[in-house]
Structure 1
Amino acid sequence: MSLLMASRIHGDVYVRFRGRYAETCRRKAVRRCIPSLQTNLQEARPELWKKLEAENSRPKIGNGEHFSFAPVDTMIRDNLWICPIKPLYQNDAYYSISKNVIVVPEKGQFKSGESFYGTLFHEMIHSTGTEGVLDRFKPASFGSSEYIREELVAELDSALVAQRYGMMKYIKEDSCPYLKGWLDELKESPQFIKTTLLDVKRASSLVTQKVDKIAQELEQNVSEQQATAPKEKVYYSSVAYLQSTDDTMRLDAFKDKRDYEGLLTLAKEYYDGNGINEEHTYPSPIQNRGDDLLIEDKDFAVVYNGNVGGTYEVMLKFTEQEVHDHVRRYGIDHAGDTLKGVAREMAAEQFAAMTRQKIPAFEMPNGDVLYVDYNKEADTLDVGMMTNAGLAVRHRFSYDHNATLDANLQAVNEKLNNMEEYQAELQEAEYSGGMRR
Structure 2
Amino acid sequence: MATEIVNPLTVVDTDTDTDTDSGAGAGAGTDRDADAGAGRLPVEPVFALHRGGKLEIASTVPVRDADDLSLAYTPGVAEVCTAIADQPELVNDYTWKSNVVAVVTDGTAVLGLGDIGPEASLPVMEGKAILFKQFGGVDAVPIALACTGVDEIVETVVRLAPSFGGVNLEDISAPRCFEIEKRLKERLDIPVFHDDQHGTAVVTLAALRNACTLTGRTLGELRAVISGAGAAGVAIAKILVEAGIGDVAVTDRKGVVHGGRDDLNPVKRDLVSYTNKAGLTGSLEEALSGADVFIGVSGGTVAESAVATMAKGAYIFAMANPTPEIHPEVARKYAAVVATGRSDFPNQINNVLAFPGIFAGALQVRASAITEGMKLAAAEALAAVVAGELAADCVIPSPFDPRVAPAVTAAVAAAARAEGVARR
Who wins on radius of gyration, i.e. which is larger?
1
| Structure of greater relative contact order (alpha carbons < 8 Å, 6+ residues apart) | 2
